[in-house]
Homo-oligomer: A and B are copies of this chain.
Amino acid sequence: MIKTSHIAGASMRSAAPLQDWTASETAAAVNSRTVSCESVVRACLDHIAEREAQVMAWEYLNPDQVIAQARALDAAGVSGALAGVPFGIKDIIDTSDMPTQMGSPIYKGHRPKGDAACVALSRKAGGILLGKTVTTEFANRHPGKTHNPFDFARTPGGSSSGSAAAVGAHMVPLAIGTQTTASTIRPASFCGTFGYRPTHGDLRCVGVKEASGTLDTLGLFARSVEDIALYRDVLTGSAPVPITEPPAPLRVGFCRTHLWSQLEPHTQSLIEDAAQGLARAGCKVEDVALPADFERVEDAHRWVSSFEFSRNFTWEIENHWDEISETLRNNRLKDGLACSFDHYREARNLLAHCRGLLDPVFEKYDVLINAPATGEAPVGLNQTGNASVCVIWTSMHVPAMTLPLFKGPNHLPIGLQLIARRNNDRGLFSAARRIWQTLS
């Protein structure tokens, strides 16, 4: 294979190969015409060709199609916040020019009419859709083919398996996933990427297969805090603005929650060390305990997500039951179909009640910290790992980010999860950049 990442005539912003550049670096170089879109996508495609046989991050990827699109953008003199930036999207997200197969045989070969809003906004900003990344079946638990890029015997996490692995393996600088439980934050932690789950409702989900509307959001994977902030601005249809400085001192709440005992001891130590490290660096760090009602959130999340999922998929259930996995039938669908509307509403009301209880916590803290997962990615590809530590934050509609700061006992990635107040995504970015600078 011919390596094309070091192209003659291009003045490089960085000594690193093009596939290792962040989205911000690539866009700056393409906008200033020092790097071509074609050279960027060829670097990524070559790197994918080297690694895909082991990682299997992609459900659909057509190099000829991608190169043709890159050449067209070069010819048109593309500009924009994502000019020339390759991105991948989870295969539950509609694309007009690629199949959207949902990790399910029911949707084999399915071709939607149009692009999902998030795809169209990315393309409008000059981004180049590289391909569709592997998802678990309908973004639920039944795994796809993807392996953890850091240990092929381990899960990449789910449900946004391919998006996390593709960014973690430096196949692409940006990818979109979704999160209903832990489907962005957990795989980002397992695959050593930055992962971001926005305030619920901020980023449009049109053209994304809904699992549970009360909980679903997009999720973003990147290799820097700045790229996350940039991509969020693109996806709100806004001109990018720089990350601001956080308050000084940064007020950090260390929020173990009642689920702390589920963490592996090594992970507990890493998060505790991080809290101490932030305190030594001048942050105001305090332990935070949540009200007792939060101990009921995990159960309520289960009923809300299962009820909504089981109604959302009525067409598939009624017409394609035999093509649904046993995993999905015997867990999410069994729960959901057995759940009454009254029980569902009670659970939904509990989550709304707890959201109201969480708001005042953020009067004392700029950001909360916790673990994004219970430990390193577990061995085995037949599951996606424990999701419980993300459930509270997902259910609270708060923005969250995981920073790829640590290595576990097997030298595999573990992140630090940061959580901010609803609607304070930019405050989350300010804190995340400061904490990254402090601890990395």
Q: Beyond A236-B311, A311-B237, is A318–B120 a contact (Cβ under 8 Å)?
A: yes
Q: Does A69 contact B (CB under 8 A)?
A: no
Instruction: Report yes or no: A124 in contact with B238, Cβ–Cβ below 8 A.
Output: no
Interface residues of A in 363-415 (CB under 8 A from B): none
Most chain-B Cβ atoms within 10 A of its Cβ — which of A119, A310, A345?
A345
CB distance from A97 to the nearest CB of B (A): 11
Residues of B within 8 A of A214 (CB): 201
Nearest CB in chain B to that of A107: its residue = B113
Q: Beyond A238-B340, A318-B124, is A117–B311 a contact (Cβ under 8 Å)?
A: yes
Instruction: Report yes or no: B119 in contact with A206, Cβ–Cβ below 8 A.
Output: no
Residues of B within 8 A of A207 (CB): 315
What sequence of 0s and 1s flags, for each residue 302-318 of chain A, a beta carbon within 8 Å of any chain B beta carbon?
A: 00000010111111111
Q: Does A268 contact B (CB under 8 A)?
A: no
Per the bound structure, the CA–CA distance linking A318 and B207 in Å amounts to 15
CB distance from A354 to the nearest CB of B (A): 16
One of B206, B311, B312, B337 near A210 (C-beta < 8 A): B206
Residues of B within 8 A of A115 (CB): 314-315
Instruction: Report yes or no: A114 in contact with B310, Cβ–Cβ below 8 A.
Output: no
Per the bound structure, the CA–CA distance linking A65 and B130 in Å amounts to 42
Instruction: Report yes or no: B238 in contact with A314, Cβ–Cβ below 8 A.
Output: no
Q: Beyond A315-B96, A316-B114, is A310–B237 a contact (Cβ under 8 Å)?
A: yes
Q: Does A123 contact B (CB under 8 A)?
A: yes
Q: Does A349 contact B (CB under 8 A)?
A: yes
Q: Does A204 contact B (CB under 8 A)?
A: yes
One of B205, B206, B308, B318 near A204 (C-beta < 8 A): B308
CB distance from A216 to the nearest CB of B (A): 10
Interface residues of A in 166-217 (CB under 8 A from B): 201-202, 204-207, 210, 213-214
Residues of B within 8 A of A13 (CB): none
Q: Does A321 contact B (CB under 8 A)?
A: no
What sequence of 0s and 1s flags, for each residue 246-266 of chain A, a beta carbon within 8 Å of any chain B beta carbon?
A: 000000000000000000000
- Measured CB to CB, the residues of A under 8 A from B are 96, 107, 110, 112-117, 119-121, 123-124, 201-202, 204-207, 210, 213-214, 236-238, 308, 310-319, 337, 340-341, 345, 348-349, 423
In order of increasing CB-CB distance, the 7 nearest A-B pairs are A120-B314, A120-B315, A114-B315, A115-B315, A206-B312, A236-B341, A204-B311
Instruction: Using A96-B319, A117-B312, A204-B308 as known contacts, list a sample of 5 further A-B pairs with CB atoms less than 8 Å apart, ordered by residue number in A.
Output: A107-B113, A114-B316, A120-B314, A237-B310, A349-B423
27 A-B Cβ contacts within 8 A? A96-B315, A96-B319, A107-B113, A112-B113, A114-B315, A114-B316, A114-B319, A117-B313, A120-B315, A120-B317, A120-B319, A121-B314, A201-B213, A202-B345, A204-B210, A204-B213, A204-B308, A204-B312, A205-B213, A206-B210, A206-B213, A213-B213, A236-B311, A237-B310, A238-B340, A238-B341, A349-B423
